[in-house]
Chain A
Amino acid sequence: MELSMTLDATTKAPIMSAKNVDVFYGAKQAIDDVSLDIAENQITAFIGPSGCGKSTFMRCLNRMNDTISSAKVTGDIRFAGQDIYSSKVDVVALRKRIGMVFQKANPFPKSIFDNVAYGPRIHDLAESKDHLEDIVVTSLKRAGLYDEVADRLDESGTGLSGGQQQRLCIARAIAVDPQIILMDEPCSALDPIATAKIEELMEQMKEDYTIVIVTHSMAQAARVSNKTAFFHLGKLIEFDETDTIFTNPANTLTQNYISGRIG
């Protein structure tokens, strides 16, 4: 048992793997032949200059690109071995497993409680009222927000500060108990203190979830992630352990970006 677990941690198949992924917006190619694996219970960061396709690629992972009618995705993306673009896959089920937190905090114009309860309600996860309350409180606690809002759960979520709103969105994502959480530049609109809080939170969340984060800040990637992928002009230039990428990148393009010469 002990042995198998250790073996598991090192040789286990990645929870998500992408092979030869291309994305087109109409005639324009946004992603060009990207292949990479995402390991379970780790933080994978996507970095690169703006417009490099890192967000576009991330939106392929839970098929959010489906909502843009001109977007076309080809290639092979697998979640736990299943082709997520297969016709058998239910996109609703997929997105329940792979949650998402957006660049700009987007709480619903509902109460804090209803914001977090939204997912469990639509997915019918709670067996009773008490259970639902339990889910909401646990999610808020995991998102490190509970202590700040415990006495005003019925107030509107839009009334919170920017950092609190983003943590509310994280709590909302956690509440449906996903396996992977995709974070699209979650701190770009936040001040350093709020950013630090969220980074700390990610470190804790890693134990239960797999996290993919798109970030504009190299420092953030260096601080929080285990692995880092560097994108440039729609291509994946380099993907390796974060330490390696930042100390000893193999590609000169990566080196130039890390050292601030491009971007």
Chain B
Amino acid sequence: MPDYTLTTSKQLQRRHAAEKRFQWYGRIAIAISVSFLVFMFTAIIFRGAGAFQQTEIGLNVALEEQVIDPQGLRDAGDISRANYKPLIMDAMQDIFPDVSERREKNQLYRLLSSASVFELGERVAKNPDLIGTTQTLWLPASSEVDLYMKDKIDQDVPEELRRLKDRDIAWVETLRSQGLIKKSFNKNFFTNGDSREPVMAGILGAALGSFFSLMICFIIAFPLGILTAVYLEEYATKNKLTDLIEVNINNLAAVPSIVFGLLGLAIFLNFFELPRSTPLVGGMVLALMAMPTIIIASRSILRSVPQNIRDAALGLGASKTQTTFHHVVPLAMPGMLTGTILGMARALGETAPLLMIGMIAFIVDVPKGVTDVATALPVQIFLWADSPEKGFVERTSAAIIVLLAFLIVMNLTAVYLRRKLERRW
């Protein structure tokens, strides 16, 4: 008698359990990958969000003329360079009258960022009418105080290992109780170049360095990339040279990025003697890196333009060039632009090749052009990440948030372009 059972047997139960397990392995793998992504993003946002705020201490500073501008010349340069330290110390003294010892006074003064004297000088120079008056001014607090206000100092650490001592903390608490300490939007982070002092360090220099580099990268890689793609798709006949070019492009896409940096160092810097550490050279190196991506993407777009469009144009008596540049390329342009933006987004995140051509220097000044010495956003992240100062941890994370924001904007633009402009055949 044959067996007609269709219900689950013991053996089948085991096999179905194996099936379930297998599916769970897949789900778990995806869950791990995605949760790592979430973990990384939250860790960075959590660490970096604080950097968009900055702690300031409010002081009633008497801006005495004989200290700031004894001759009354009102020269902006002299005013900004005047010695504001005693004025600030006096203002501090007003808040803490029982602090009298010199060492303690200096300690008190150090609650402020060492850059606050320069900041004060600049503010007064901009507005000389303030001289002779007493103003309530908010000046940047030191990095340690800033971290304390953001609850980022572990108070369980024994006092002798902390830079912010118990007495400093007591002072800060006094300021807090009097409403003389507050957190406000950190404008410096977006308007300054790099600085040795965390509270004064900003990303504008690096962001402009990246911008200029990408500009150069676009100017070189976009035309070269699409012209190459057009040549390979529309003109080239299959021969040894074409094969060689294709093999080259595919292999270049796999060359480690740092090797492109060495190419830039040996050829652009040492052989052609182009200026070191500049967005010009950085952009050229990035262009060589981005080109394979742009070519490969553009070729697949050109390939998707239907043959009958070419046939129609050729049939009307248009030449090969007219057909290509009047009909095929315009139709493929949105897609090629999308590919280029994606390639540039990649280039924006590249660090290693830029290190090789010297865009790693400590540069305070904001670059004004492609031949100014500069750094780039990812390199700035690398530099700050390397810095021992604790205040830079926050800023590194904040710089990463800014970099990721740029990347997201570029990728969304590409997606938008693709949705809006690209044709479906």
Binding site for B on A (CB under 8 A): 79-82, 84, 88-90, 92-94, 97, 122-124, 179
Please tell me if B100 contacts chain A, counting CB pairs below 8 Å: no
Are B4 and A90 in contact, CB atoms less than 8 angstroms apart?
A: no
Interface string of B41-81 (1 = CB under 8 A from A): 00000000000000000000000000000000000000000
Complex Cα spacing A97 to B15, Å: 17
Q: How far is the CA of A120 from the CA of B16 in the complex (A)?
A: 17
Confirm or deny: B133 has a beta carbon within 8 angstroms of a beta carbon on chain A. Answer: no
- B7 near A88 with CB under 8 A, answer yes
Question: Which residue on B lies nearest to A93, using beta carbons?
Answer: B6
Closest chain B CB from A208 CB (angstroms): 10
**Across-interface contacts of B8 in A (CB, < 8 A):** 90, 93
Q: List 12 A-B contacts (CB under 8 A).
A: A79-B4, A84-B6, A89-B7, A90-B12, A92-B12, A93-B6, A93-B9, A93-B12, A97-B4, A97-B6, A122-B15, A179-B4
Q: Does B388 contact A (CB under 8 A)?
A: no
Q: How far is the CB of B297 from chain A (nearest CB, A)?
A: 32
- Decide if A80 touches B4 in the complex (CB within 8 Å): yes
Question: What is the chain B residue whose CB lies nearest that of A89?
Answer: B6
Residues of B close to A82: CB separation below 8 A: 4, 6
**Closest beta carbon of chain A to B296's beta carbon, Å:** 30
> Which residues of B lie under 8 Å from residue A80 when comparing CB positions?
4
Chain B interface, >50% SS class: loop
CA distance A94 to B9 in the complex (A): 12
* A122→B5 CA distance, assembly (Å): 18
5 closest A-B pairs by beta carbon, nearest first, are A80-B4, A90-B8, A89-B6, A93-B6, A94-B6
Q: How far is the CB of B407 from chain A (nearest CB, A)?
A: 36
Q: Is the CB of A124 within 8 A of B11?
A: yes
Give the Cβ gap from B7 to chain A, nearest Cβ, in Å.
6
Residues of A within 8 A of B317 (CB): none
Report the bound CA distance from A94 to B8 in whole Å. Answer: 10
- Contacting residue for B5 out of A84, A93, A123, CB 8 A: A93
Q: How far is the CA of A145 from the CA of B12 in the complex (A)?
A: 31
A80-B4 Cα distance, complex, nearest whole Å: 7
Q: Mark B228-268, 1 if CB is under 8 A from A, else 0.
A: 00000000000000000000000000000000000000000
Q: How far is the CA of A155 from the CA of B228 in the complex (A)?
A: 47
Taking the closest CB of chain B, its distance from the CB of A32, in whole angstroms, is: 26
CB of B108, distance to nearest CB on chain A (Å): 72
Size band of the B side of the interface?
10 to 19
Q: Contacts A92-B12, A92-B15 given: A79-B2 contact, CB under 8 Å?
A: no
Set of chain A residues within 8 Å of B3, measured between Cβ atoms:
97
CB neighbours of A123 from chain B (8 A)? 11
> How far is the CB of A60 from the nearest CB of chain B, in Å?
15
Q: CA A79 – CA B16 in complex, angstroms?
A: 22
Neighbour of A179 across the interface among B2, B7, B9, B15, CB < 8 A: B2
A128 → B minimal CB distance (Å): 17
- Residues on B with C-beta less than 8 A from A92 are 12, 15-16
Q: Which residue of A lies closest to B19 (CB)?
A: A92
Query: What's the nearest-Cβ distance from chain B to residue A125, in Å?
Result: 10
In the complex, what distance in Å separates the CA atom of A89 from the CA atom of B12?
12
A88 to B7, CA, bound (A): 6
**CA gap between A110 and B4 in the complex, in Å:** 31
Given contacts A82-B6, A88-B6, A90-B7, 4 further A-B contacts (CB under 8 A): A79-B4, A89-B6, A94-B6, A122-B15
Given the complex of chains A and B, what is the CA–CA distance between A123 and B3 in angstroms?
14
Once bound together, how far apart are the Cα atoms of A153 and B15, in whole Å? Answer: 28
In the complex, A90→B3 CA distance in Å? 14
Contacts of A84 in B (CB 8 A): 6
Residue interface mask B6-43, A partner, CB < 8 A = 1: 11110110011000000000000000000000000000
How far is it, in angstroms, between the C-alpha of A80 and the C-alpha of B8 when the chains are bound? 16
Q: Give Cα A17–Cα B8 distance, bound, in whole angstroms.
A: 22
Q: B6 contacts A90, CB within 8 Å?
A: yes
Cα separation A152 to B12 with both chains bound (whole Å):
33
Contacts of A93 in B (CB 8 A): 5-9, 12
> Complex formed: what's the CA distance from A52 to B48 in Å?
65
Within 8 A of A (CB), among B146-196: none
Closest to A83 in B: B6
Docked Cα-Cα span, A92 to B9, in Å, equals: 10
- Smallest CB–CB gap between A176 and chain B, Å? 12
A84 to B9, CA, bound (A): 16
> Which residues of the other chain, A, contact B2 by a CB distance below 8 angstroms?
179
B248 nearest CB across to chain A (Å): 34
Bound complex: CA of A256 vs CA of B200, how far in Å? Answer: 92
Tell me how far the C-beta of B110 lies from the nearest C-beta in chain A, rounded to whole angstroms: 69
Q: Which residues of A contact B4 (CB under 8 A)?
A: 79-82, 97, 179
Complex CA–CA separation, A81 to B5 (angstroms): 10
Q: Provide the residues of chain A in CB contact with B5, threshold 8 Å.
A: 93
Instruction: Name A91's closest neighbour in chain B (CB-CB).
Output: B6
Bound-complex Cα distance A80 to B7 (A)? 13
Min CB gap B12→A, angstroms: 6
- Chain B residues within 8 Å of A124, by CB: 11
Residues of B within 8 A of A79 (CB): 4, 6
Chain B residue nearest to A95 (CB atoms) is: B6
In the bound assembly, the distance between CA atoms of A82 and B3 in angstroms comes to 13
Bound complex: CA of A89 vs CA of B6, how far in Å? 5
Contacts of A122 in B (CB 8 A): 15
Question: Please, how many angstroms separate the alpha-carbon atoms of A62 and B407 in the complex?
Answer: 51
Report the Cα distance A94→B5, complex, angstroms: 8
A89 to B4, CA, bound (A): 11
Cβ contacts B196-224/A at 8 Å (1 or 0 each): 00000000000000000000000000000
CA gap between A81 and B12 in the complex, in Å: 21
Distance A92 CA – B16 CA, assembled complex (angstroms): 9
